[in-house]
Structure 1
Amino acid sequence: MKRLRRTLLELWILVPLAGIVGFLGPFGTYLAGDFFARSLRWGGMLLGAYVLVRPTMMLWAWVADATRLPRGTVMIWGLTVSSIPMSFIWLYGGWNEISALDGLSGIMPFSVLCALTILLVASLADRADEHLLRNYQGPMQRLRATTEGQPAVAEAVLPVIRPEPVAVPSPLLTGEERPRLYARLGAQFEGDVLALESEDHYVRVHGLRGSDLLLMRLRDAIAEMDGVPGAQTHRSWWVAQDAVADFSRSGRAMDVVLTNGTRAPVARDSVDRLERSGFLPVKGVAD
């Protein structure tokens, strides 16, 4: 359902974009037909670029996460590579709109621009989706929670039950000692907050035997931990200091093992910072 919603938002953004390009009439197409005809032709080309480029964006996002490289850099270079087959399609497709681009040397930059335009469309759809979820999804979640017999918490869903933990976490904070984030968690959440994991527009709050999913940004969730000792080990992970049970190194990759057995990745460009702060052991000392 989420994927369908995002796709509809992206296609909706393509409609006014096609109108803008049709109005401007680039590459001498301003005189080729009226505004409506130009918009339809450019809309068809943008839709073709979307069909070709959008699946590869998910591939490059997976590559960035798997290699722990900066997603933005991987995405831009990856889409540049993805634009190469699209350039040949434009070249041999015979579209009048790009006939003035003077062969492959002119079509290639145009294809890269189309690929980056689809990246912009996806980014705008992501912002729109976040706005809709933040402002209109809450009542539906409360209704679902009520009908399932769970506390009506707007931003919490049922936790994912994990196996028994391998270690006992620090004592549960109570009363005024508890950070603000605890007020968002459902009654079924047990123990202290061990880690925060970003999942698209949500944050998964890891606890002793399960987790809650909150509709908020990771940086806001970290702020609501109210200074609890911890560190952001990865762009999508924050780990509480008391929740660290062990560290695991494999070549240049490193993970933090939590007291409930969950593994949180450590970004390569964050290792030095975390070692200087004392959150991670210095490699030479640890060995």
Structure 2
Amino acid sequence: MDTPAIGQPRTPYRRRLMGRRLPVLLGAALVLALLGPFGTFADLTLVQRLAYWVGLIGLGGLAFELLTLAAARRLRDRPEAWRALLAGVTLAVAAPMTLTVALLEKSLRGKDMLHPLGLAELFVYVVLVTLLVSAIPVWLELRDRGLLVAPPSPAPVPSIPAERPEPVFLARLPARLGRDLLALEMEDHYVRAHTAVGSGLILMRLRDAIAELAGLEGLQVHRSHWVAATAVAGVERKPDGKLVLVLRNGLRVPVSRSHAAAVRESGWVEKAGP
């Protein structure tokens, strides 16, 4: 099985929800019920505080899940946006929860905060509680999606000249594929990486993958293909004049007319057969 791409969860959704986030939310609600912040300790019984905080934390947690699931559909190929997304969702949940708390406070404790100054003050409290309660779930989600660890870079070598850093994209390759990258091929929302020992799919756009290959000599030879310079074993010419690159692993990659000039300038055509 291919290693999940950065930004994609390693753990099934049900396991993340039931085994991680729900216990954290219930634990937070229990702690708040026991401590009774914002005057709830003096005004409410323990049972009332439990109902108060479990209800609010549960409602906020549900809103967090729904917003996150909706946004996830739009970020399948943008893993770099997940940190900002989760921060934005956390703050977005605070807005409707402020109105909910204001209505609850008026009906339960007779406190009228349904005016601009009261809502502004209440919003600060709600944001504070939301950030405290969501800190661990957000951290767990980022960790599960591989967004808390920077891509590994090679250790500095005390030699002259110094070795170039490994391209960032190579860190995305599953270990079973090695690091001898031959070509990239676009498949819908995925990129198929071809190496000397096999191939695998990675969820990202081809242009983003090419950008992460800075420092590795190669060319985009077609709107759907990129080829490493060291991968070219030969070049074939079709009867219509189009070029086809033959790679070391036997893979044949078409060269589009718009990229043919760059391929010729690279000197690869000199590898063409008679």
TM-score range (shorter-chain normalised) is: 0.3 to 0.5
TM-score (norm 1): 0.44
Structure label with greater radius of gyration: 2
TM-score (norm 2): 0.46
